[in-house]
Structure 1
Amino acid sequence: METYSTAKQKIEKEILRLQRQMKTLKVKQRRPIITSIVRSMQDNEITIEELTQALESTKKRGAKGVSQSKSVLPPKYRNPATGDTWTGRGRPPRWILDADAAGKERDSFLIK
Structure 2
Amino acid sequence: MQSTKALAKLTAQIEALERRARTLRANARASAVRKIVAQMHEFQISPSDVKAAFGAMKPIRAKQKKALERPVPRRVVPEKYRHPETGETWTGRGRAPRWLAAAERAGASREQFRV
Q: What range describes the TM-score normalised by the shorter chain of this pair?
A: 0.5 to 0.7
CA offset at residue 37 of structure 1?
1.0
More helix by share: 2
CA distance change for structure 1 residues 16 and 59 in 2, over 3 Å: closer, same or farther?
farther
Distance 2:24 2:42 in 1: 28
Structure showing greater Rg: 2
SS at match of 2:95: helix
Matched with 1:38 is 37
1:49-108: CA deviation from partner (whole Å, max 9, x where unpaired): 22122223334434xxx8342242223259xxxxxxxxxxxxxxxxx5223795779xx7
Question: Residue 98 in 1 paired to residue 105 in 2?
Answer: no
CA offset at residue 4 of structure 1?
1.9
Matched with 1:92 is none
Identity of aligned residues (%): 20
Which runs of no fewer than 5 residues in structure 1 stay unpaired?
79-95
Matched with 1:67 is 64
CA offset at residue 15 of structure 1?
0.5
CA offset at residue 14 of structure 1?
0.5
Distance 1:18 1:29 in 2: 16
* Letter aligned with residue 31 of structure 1: A
Distance 2:45 2:7 in 1: 52
> Structure 2 length normalisation: TM-score?
0.53
